[in-house]
Amino acid sequence: MSDKPPQAPPHHPPLTTPHAASSSGSATHNPQAKIDQAEHGALEAITGVWNAFHGAGEALRGNILKGVDTIAGDRDKTGESIAQSGWEEIQQGEQKLYKR
């Protein structure tokens, strides 16, 4: 064991790198912005998957109701409108997921 007190770690420069053109117009790039952008992208992907999954369930439910309405002779278009909104939700989820 040494009687010397522990030394502080060496000083490291800040985690910025030169960047030719940034959105703020400064000459440095903010790494936190990259992290924030990645988190936002991940959140968009998760909500896109959820929208597509939920929309598929709605489309299935709507088509089943539409079939029951047809068999029962009911002219109500509720099942058809539910199925259509399910398909639209699937498309919204795909747009979020694939950034179209």
pTM exceeds 0.85, yes or no: no
Consecutive 10-residue runs of the chain (100 residues): their mean pLDDT?
62 52 54 79 88 94 92 86 93 85
What tokens were used for 64? 């089943």
Between the CA of residue 83 and those of 5, 13, 59, 71, 74, what are the distances in Å?
72, 57, 4, 17, 16
The string of DSSP codes covering 10-51 is: PP---S-EE-SS-TT--SEE-HHHHHHHHHHHHHHHHHHHHH
Query: Mean pLDDT across the chain, nearest whole number?
Result: 78
- In angstroms, the CA 66 to CA 75 distance is 9
**CA angle, corner 16, sides to 11 and 21, nearest 5?**
160
pLDDT of residue 22: 47
Bridge partners, residue 29, by sequence:
17
**CA angle, corner 35, sides to 93 and 23, nearest 5?**
95
